Amino acid sequence: MSDLAALLDSERIPRHVAIIMDGNGRWANARGLHRTAGHARGEPALFDIVHGALDLGIEWLTVYTFSTENWGRDPDEVAFLMEFNVDLLERRRDELDELGVRVIFIGDHEDERIPKAVLDRMRIAEEQTAGNTNLNMVYAFNYGGRTEIAAAARRIAEEAASGTLDPADVDEGTIAQRLYCPEMPDPDLVIRTSGEQRTSNYLLWEAAYSEYVFTPVLWPDFDQQELVRCIAEYQDRDRRYGGAIDGIFDDDPAQS
Ligand code: IPE
Ligand code: IPE
Ligand code: MG
């Protein structure tokens, strides 16, 4: 990783990288395998990226593991994904802890379709790693951006109805503080693998000014080299946040 990282500007490493890990099914289909084999092969790719994020000094890594829309898939695939996530947490929890990774889950976890065993292991992983500071690894599990914003709106309505919040005081900060993980900074970079170019309901509020990088690489083939390439593309971008392009009016007589 160190050789690759040398290609990057170490002063402008994104603080928060969010990834839409897509293309597992197509990876498996191309090999005549069942879709679930693609999900299984996504695990080593994910852990390669965790190591890469640690080496690069990325502070927050958020990964989309199951969307609120993914319930619409074949029941066998849904059941596999639920089981797989329990299994993964069980097998990798100590390893993540030893690496100093803090695990955080975001999403709708009151959904009764999530097996209790999954919820229990989510809580155990969060508790065991709560004191770690090398990397915050956020699992977006049963996550949907619209569901997240709706949940914040519901809380605000409840607080207004009970008289603890004045509707006139509701601003962007009021909503941001009621999202799933208020301490999570907005992503600087959102990467989507597999060539699809859409958000699929990921971090709708948080990614308002994120840079998007789309790569054709299918998630099981994604590795640290591809991560560095995506960050290099990010570092080539000019983040403007709605402002003017730096220096464009410098020689404009109308401005002087
Ligand atoms: C992403 O891969 C993983 C999840 C959505 C859980 P897909 O399963 O969406 O793979 P494709 O897009 O069908 O290839
Ligand atoms: C987004 O991928 C969700 C995850 C990666 C977990 P999908 O494969 O579900 O998204 P669409 O259906 O292509 O938009
Ligand atoms: Mg997909």
The 10s digit of each residue's pLDDT in 54-77 is: 999 999 999 999 999 999 999 999
Domain that holds residue 95: 12-143+187-236
Which atom of ligand 2 is nearest the CA belonging to 22?
5
As a whole number of angstroms, the distance between CA 96 and CA 168 comes to: 44
Task: Tell me which residue has its CA closest to atom 9 in ligand 2.
Answer: 70
Does some domain include residue 246? no
Q: Is the pLDDT of residue 256 over 80?
A: no
As a whole number of angstroms, the distance between CA 239 and CA 210 comes to: 9
Token pair belonging to 113: 């379709």
Query: In this structure, what CATH number is given to the domain that contains residue 198?
Result: 3.40.1180.10
Does some domain include residue 25? yes
Please provide the distance, in angstroms rounded to a whole number, between the alpha carbons at the two ends of the chain: 49
DSSP 72: G
Query: DSSP per residue over 168-182, as a string?
Result: GG--HHHHHTTSS-T
The answer to whether 110 and 144 are in contact (CB under 8 A) is no
Q: Find, among 104, 126, 138, 180, the residue nearest to 19 by Cα.
A: 138
Task: Name the band, by pLDDT with cuts 50, 70 and 90, for residue 255.
Answer: very low
Task: Tell me which residue has its CA closest to atom 1 in ligand 2.
Answer: 200
Does some domain include residue 120? yes
Does some domain include residue 241? no
Task: Name the band, by pLDDT with cuts 50, 70 and 90, for residue 148.
Answer: very high
> What is this structure's pTM?
0.95
Instruction: Calculate how far, in angstroms, residue 195's C-alpha sits from the geometric centre of ligand 2.
Output: 12
As a whole number of angstroms, the distance between CA 157 and CA 129 comes to: 33
Does some domain include residue 2? no
Does some domain include residue 68? yes
Does some domain include residue 127? yes
Q: Find, among 193, 73, 188, 199, the residue nearest to 148 by Cα.
A: 199
Does some domain include residue 154? no
Q: How many domains does one find in the chain?
A: 1
Q: Is ligand 1 within 6 A of the CB of residue 21? A: yes
Q: For the chain, what is the mean pLDDT?
A: 95
Q: Which of 101-105, 162-166, 239-243 bottoms out in mean pLDDT, i.e. has the lowest?
A: 239-243
